[in-house]
Structure 1
Amino acid sequence: MQHQHYQLSYFEKLIHVDLKQATSKQKEPDSTFFAFSVSDIISNKNSMLQNFNQYLCDLGKRKQVDWYVSMHQHQLVLLMEEMATCLPEADLICQQVSLTEATWLNLYKIIYCNLCELLSFLERKFECYLDIDCRLPSSYLITAKTTLFQDIDLLRERFEATAVDKHLLSIVFQPFTDCIKADRRDSSITYRQLYFLKEMKKQLFELLDGRADDLTERLKKVLHYLNFNSVQYFDYWTEAINTEIENLPTIREKLDRLIYLQKKVNQATVKPGFAYSKLRASLQSQLQSWLAEEINYQKDKESLEGSSHTSEELGRWKDFKVLTNFSVPQLGNFLRLLMESGFYLNKNRTEVLDFFSHFFTTVKQDSVSPGSLRSNFYKDNAAVSKTVRDILTDLVKFSHKGMSVAAFFTLSISMII
């Protein structure tokens, strides 16, 4: 890019050279220097506003336009921050200036306001070319902090009155707290972070205005939608799943749960191009990787625990199922009878039920889920109990019939002998 196409040369020379020399010689600017400087500042600003559109049209190519706009954006922010170090906070957010009060402080404010006007012009006219990872100017941060402070206090108060998980709540509000506490002089808050916080604040208010049930789960859904890829939230989510998985009795149930969560994460709706931090992978991809690794671990663990059998032996029974005329409620009731009467001696009932759900099926249902069989095992249902008793009665009759035939053959053989 040629030097004449860089449109902030005047402001850089004014701030880095002219002002430094003048302030070292004069306690306050004389009226001539002040009037001349103000006239030049406004003239150069207006010239840039007029020429910027035309020069971008001449550039043509998108990559060149991207670079040109973002370069001027970054330089404007840097120049504004140099002026901001000389100004009190109140002057940064007040855009009213005097064009006649010949003081250095007033001249700094005039420079800052004109630079701010140029930056606002770029933001308004060339929003799609801006670098959202550029640092926020001090005046933007001060205004954002004031608004956020009021809204976040209200949000926090309303959330704390609900049954939402308080640990999760502290993680959600941490970015807002960081922004509010940020020092304008050495802040690293970017446009991206401010956009994220504004959208997150909006989503949180909408969440509270909706239904009150399952607020923690609905809050998680919002965080996944917004790609809240903070380290703290990732740790919170994975620790919660680890605790849940550890409490499940069998590896099969652990895998069922992990695979279901993997499906939910893969199918989750995510706001396009949105992220809390660009330095980390998206929340969805982080969770996908973690779940895939955990699933592989559980499969390897299952393989090690069953290593006393050869792969051929295990493969033989992979798809085998005993087909029965029992319904699922009848099977659950029948197993309860056998276990409570002491015919089955296994102490872990869950493992027995998981075994039957995996290797047994019914004519009415191709697959028997562990949860369904467990539910029917503990359920007291008079109608089901009666049908099981009828089945047992038929078995007794069938058993007597079988014994009569056997006795007949024994008697016949003894008579022949």
Structure 2
Amino acid sequence: MNQTYLLEWLDLLVTFTLNPSKTDVSEITTVQSKAIIEKTIEQTLFIQSEFKIKVFSLNKEKQIKIIVGNYHSSLIIFLDNVIERSHNVVFERFDLKQVINTLISCFDELLSFIETRFSDYLSLDLRVPATYLLISKKKLKQKIDKLKNSSTSTINNQKVTVILFDSLYSFVNSKRNEKVTFRQVLYRKQLIKELELLKVKQNEDQANAALDEILIYMNFNSRKYINYFTKCVADKINCCESAAGKMENLLFYFKEFNQIHSKDGVILNPHHQDLKTVLSDWFKHEMMYLEKKLHFSVVPLLTIDKKQNQTAVIDITKDKVLCKLSTDQTALILRASDELKILIAKSMNHVFKTIVPFLSTPHKVDPSYDSMRSKSYVAEERDKKIVIETLERMIKQIKEY
């Protein structure tokens, strides 16, 4: 294991050279100040390069955690010292003030480098030191201000941008003396970085979708955002009058939602549930509600006996074919048959509407074709496995003919 101390030059600079209690800082010349600035910039790049080599040369995770944690802690201490020194009258001299500003920038860059590249090895739930938090909030606020005036805030849906910027500004402007962890600071840094990469498309819907993708990816589990998202989906679903149409739209949006990836280990509010979990549960409850609505909307086929002036139920089950697969499993076969054009009809809906009335299952005498079609979009692994096994048995049977 390489024991080289990469911060040695910066350590000496902060601890001795720029320490008024140990050195007469006023004797540093303008030429020397310029040389210190150049060397500091050079060291910033050198340390990043060498630190990656040092970390990747280690095989044990425990060793990596120790070295990452030690360097991170040291940089925070140096940053605190430099900020404290900046208030000393000797650093009011223009060239020395430039030295201090360069060092602050250097330590901030190195900290961001470690936090971005090696966050998995940091103790993110530790409290952030006050000085470091102050610097971080100041830098975050500058980036948020810039974002607010950029294309991100020109997305047509102002509701989501208001929720987003209110949350970001609430964090950086908070004056409360509460515990702020590295996890909370790092989350805002990562979120802002994702927003900076957002390229607003010309199509308004695409722009809104791109922002939603970022917030879902970053686990932005704000209650206001959850309410906003579910209301948007509900409004789109309620455009359809029929329960079947609503179910079809709901399944479509659920499919789109499931295709959005979420980043591991990041969350806006660590004490609340993950955004994906909350929204998935909402989709499932809405589907259950619509399924019940579809079920109760199925009216038995009735006929009027004119002689007795009584209503009688026609027995339509006697001509049905019993399918030993469940409703969900049968739905998968019909959907696959339609998509592979084994069964050709004007639409998938027509396939189900034509075939299902002539089928019954072990648990349902009169399965709803609409409900069965809806279930074909949310296949469970167990049902898929049973269908595949059934088809394999059919293949084996056909081979024996």
Report the TM-score, using the length of structure 2 for normalisation. Answer: 0.49
More helix by share: 1
Give the greater-gyration-radius structure (CA): 1
Report the TM-score, using the length of structure 1 for normalisation. Answer: 0.47
